Amino acid sequence: MSVFVMFAFGVGCCLLLVRLVTSYLRLSNIPGPLAAKFTDLWCYKLQNSKAYSSRLVELHNNTCDPAAIPIIYSINPTWIKGPSYYGAIPVSKNRPVPSIIGMGEAQYTAVRKSVGRAFTTNSLLDYEDSIEATGKELIAVLSHETETDIGEWLQYFAMDMLIRISFGDSLGMLSKRQDVDGTLQAVMARFDHWGQWGAVPSIDYAVNKSRLATTLRGVRDHPLARVAQSKLDTRKRDENKSSYRDLCSKFLEGQKKYPQLVKQDEILGIIISTIGAGADTTVSTLTYTLYFLSKHPAARQKLIDEINENLSQGTLSRTPK
């Protein structure tokens, strides 16, 4: 037994040495700290330092020019996605789920080909009823509040809306006035996890997301993955599934058309990404909008006047159409 342990230890040391040497040779010509040529742990240290905030400000200043948008977000990607994105991948049934943000370029291209039409302008019209229904629920709930934290309600609104757009019904966070099964908390924790482990994706996988790690640590399914998987299974058993016009229906149609490109895990990952990322951006956008309108009364009044004028002229409906 001791011989086997020594042999395994020796092999591990050799592999580690090879890893360090190849990393150094690949990065030796790039200016920077010596430690960064050997390991990502230097990046992890930087991420938790004050210098990291300064780097983010510098990066923001370098890319805030609108002219950079078509370069960074071009159809034919100039920038190849780095492994730091893998930290955002959730876990379901003891294995990582390939969400959009963590997919490689080839996998993402295949997914876009099969389900991309679900996000076209014409397809977006199919989701208006879900947005309106959730908006009415939000207004009904807020009408009973004299003073409240609007940011919290917008989180419930965004989650209910995105899940309704995805599956045709919501989790009922607005009606229950609270998070349901820890789903919202898990979505927020996913971004926190990404921020903490994004600099060391290999260690993140080994410690948190590998089958061995999830089994030993007893890691449960990500709540959003559990909800999405349950609703996805229910939809597949539904005899009238072809009558739905939500995202789930369109994803399954794309999978049926391109079964060789999109598997079950990809569908689950796309749904999780759509709900998680969509809710996050919806909440932040609405919160910022309300904040700045409150901060600038003149702009708020101008907006109200424009809305009332268009309502009286019949060019704008009470609810978006």
What is the pLDDT, as a whole number, of residue 63?
66
Question: Contact 44/200 with Cβ under 8 angstroms?
Answer: yes
Among 144-148, 220-224, 230-234, 268-272, which is the least confidently predicted range?
Answer: 220-224
Question: Contact 46/59 with Cβ under 8 angstroms?
Answer: no
Q: Predicted confidence band at 287 (pLDDT cuts at 50, 70, 90)?
A: very high
Q: Evaluate if residue 142 carries a pLDDT over 80.
A: yes
Buried b (16+ CB within 10 A) or exposed e, 60-88: eeeeeeeeeeeeeeeeeeeeeeebbbbbb
For residue 39, the number of C-alpha atoms closer than 13 Å in the C-beta half-sphere is: 9
How many angstroms separate the CA atoms of 96 and 107, rounded? 15
Domains of the chain: 80-313 (1.10.630.10)
pLDDT digits (tens, 9 = 90+) for 156-201: 999 999 999 988 888 889 999 898 888 888 888 888 888 888 888 8
Q: Predicted confidence band at 298 (pLDDT cuts at 50, 70, 90)?
A: very high
Average confidence (pLDDT) over 272-298: 90
The three-state (H, E, C) secondary structure of the chain, written as one string: CHHHHHHHHHHHHHHHHHHHHHHHHHHCCCCCCCHHHCCCHHHHHHHCCHHHHHHHHHHHHHHCCHHHHHHHCCCCCCCCCCHHHHHHCCEECCEECCCHHHCCHHHHHHHHHHHHHHHCHHHHHHHHHHHHHHHHHHHHHHCCCCCCCHHHHHHHHHHHHHHHHHHCCCCCHHHHCCCCCCHHHHHHHHHHHHHHHCCCHHHHHHHHHCHHHHHHHCCCCCHHHHHHHHHHHHHHHCCCHHHCCCHHHHHHHHHHHCCCCCCHHHHHHHHHHHHHHHHHHHHHHHHHHHHHHHHCHHHHHHHHHHHHHHHHHCCCCCCCC
How many angstroms separate the CA atoms of 48 and 53, rounded? 9
| pLDDT mean across residues, the chain | 82
Decide which of 17 and 220 is more confident: 17
Percent of the chain with pLDDT strictly greater than 70: 92
What is the pLDDT, as a whole number, of residue 75?
65
96 forms bridges with which residues in the sheet?
91
Percent of the chain with pLDDT strictly greater than 90: 16
Question: Contact 161/217 with Cβ under 8 angstroms?
Answer: no
Average confidence (pLDDT) over 240-266: 80
Average confidence (pLDDT) over 292-310: 94
Joined tokens for residue 239? 């005899």
How many angstroms separate the CA atoms of 34 and 151, rounded? 44
φ, ψ of residue 91 in degrees (nearest 5): -115, 135
Phi-psi region of 314 (alpha: psi -120 to 50; beta: other; left: phi over 0): left
Average confidence (pLDDT) over 40-46: 74
Q: Predicted confidence band at 53 (pLDDT cuts at 50, 70, 90)?
A: low
Q: Predicted confidence band at 271 (pLDDT cuts at 50, 70, 90)?
A: confident
Q: Predicted confidence band at 299 (pLDDT cuts at 50, 70, 90)?
A: very high
pTM value is 0.78
Question: Contact 204/197 with Cβ under 8 angstroms?
Answer: yes
pLDDT digits (tens, 9 = 90+) for 198-217: 888 888 888 888 888 888 77
φ, ψ of residue 96 in degrees (nearest 5): -65, 140
What is the pLDDT, as a whole number, of residue 1?
52
Average confidence (pLDDT) over 218-234: 81
pLDDT digits (tens, 9 = 90+) for 60-77: 776 677 777 777 777 665
